[in-house]
């Protein structure tokens, strides 16, 4: 992509603010962050320049990645793999009376998540990794051999590295004092293999929005699809939607 094409891309996604921020970063390596103003969102969303923040923002708040019209109004949403909070913000605007629990394991992403959701009291951030057991788990940069790439693309794994709390969905529900979950959004870079080892938490779920990462960890689809009986299935882009029939 040429410089001109790059600046045009920034203008199309972020307006003049984005062009000025990208230009300054190219010349001076400052600023490292800028505020984006997505249509229909009343508060700014802060993004780190030249990171995966930009694509996540474009997919969730501009591209309508989770824009599925549900046959019900959810009261409780769990956003697992919340990243910097763009999906949670989208849900908070679409369902203003909903309690949203946003889980993110990686420390720098979590810091941005806290900043972005500050104006939204309905969103509760949780610094943890959704997993098959309670305890601790490592957080590391993705192995390039898996196909995960880009700054701030991280995976949870049982190997040395910075540690974060590991939590099961059952423990999360107990701690958040919720009896059921209407909508679960899961984008956890292959850890769905762990989370779906015990799918008993699904009995209260009415809708699941999930990105399956077979290209990173073979077997993710085989872990999820068989336990989703009783749900209708559709797909848009990389997101698979399951709605309880």
Mean pLDDT, consecutive 10-residue segments, the chain of 245 residues? 77 81 78 90 93 93 94 97 97 96 96 98 97 90 52 59 92 96 95 94 97 90 96 95 97
pTM of the model: 0.90
- Residues near 94 by beta carbon (within 8 Å), at least 6 away in sequence: none
- Whether 147 and 94 map to the same domain: the answer is yes
- Whether 139 and 176 map to the same domain: the answer is yes
- Residue 127's domain is classified under what CATH number? 3.40.50.150
Determine the structural domain holding residue 1 and report its residue range: 1-61
Q: Is 105 helix (H, G, I), strand (E, B) or coil?
A: coil
Question: What pLDDT does residue 159 have?
Answer: 65
Number of domains in the chain: 2
Question: What pLDDT does residue 142 have?
Answer: 59
- Whether 14 and 106 map to the same domain: the answer is no
- Whether 32 and 85 map to the same domain: the answer is no
- Whether 50 and 72 map to the same domain: the answer is no
- Whether 231 and 161 map to the same domain: the answer is yes
Question: What pLDDT does residue 152 have?
Answer: 43
Dig out the tokens for 69 from the structure.
């019209």
10 Å CB burial of residue 154 (0-12, 13-18, 19+) is buried
Question: What pLDDT does residue 10 have?
Answer: 78
Which of 31, 61, 91 lies at the terminal end of a domain, its last residue? 61
HSE-CB for 135 with a 13 A CA cutoff: 9
Question: What pLDDT does residue 146 have?
Answer: 46
- Whether 77 and 163 map to the same domain: the answer is yes
Question: What pLDDT does residue 7 have?
Answer: 75
- Whether 19 and 91 map to the same domain: the answer is no
Which of 32, 61, 90 lies at the terminal end of a domain, its last residue? 61
- Whether 188 and 125 map to the same domain: the answer is yes
Question: What pLDDT does residue 222 have?
Answer: 96
- Whether 218 and 130 map to the same domain: the answer is yes
- Whether 44 and 97 map to the same domain: the answer is no
- Whether 173 and 114 map to the same domain: the answer is yes
Which of 17, 46, 61 lies at the terminal end of a domain, its last residue? 61
Q: Is the bond into 128 cis (omega within 30 degrees of 0)? A: no
Question: What pLDDT does residue 30 have?
Answer: 77
Question: What pLDDT does residue 155 have?
Answer: 64
């Amino acid at each position: 992509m040429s410089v001109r094409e790059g600046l045009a891309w920034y203008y199309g996604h972020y307006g003049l603010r984005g062009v000025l921020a990208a230009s300054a970063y190219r010349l001076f390596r400052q600023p490292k962050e800028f505020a984006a103003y997505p249509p229909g969102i009343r508060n700014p969303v802060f993004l780190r320049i030249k990171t995966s923040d930009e694509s996540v923002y474009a997919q969730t708040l501009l591209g309508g990645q989770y824009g599925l019209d549900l046959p019900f109004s959810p009261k409780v949403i769990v956003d697992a793999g919340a990243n910097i909070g763009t999906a949670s913000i989208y849900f908070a605007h679409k369902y203003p009376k909903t309690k949203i629990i946003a889980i993110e394991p990686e420390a720098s992403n979590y810091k941005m998540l806290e900043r972005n959701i500050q104006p939204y009291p309905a969103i509760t951030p949780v610094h943890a990794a959704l997993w098959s057991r309670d305890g601790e788990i490592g957080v590391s940069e993705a192995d390039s051999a898996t196909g995960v790439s880009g700054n701030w693309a991280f995976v949870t794994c049982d190997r040395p590295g910075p540690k974060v709390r590991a939590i099961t969905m059952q423990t999360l529900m107990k701690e958040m004092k919720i009896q059921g979950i209407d909508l679960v959004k899961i984008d956890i870079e292959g850890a769905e293999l762990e989370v779906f080892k015990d799918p008993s938490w699904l009995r209260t779920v009415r809708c699941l929005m999930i990105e399956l990462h077979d290209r990173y960890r073979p077997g993710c689809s085989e872990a999820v699809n068989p336990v989703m009986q009783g749900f209708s299935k559709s797909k848009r882009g990389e997101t698979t939607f399951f709605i309880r029939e």
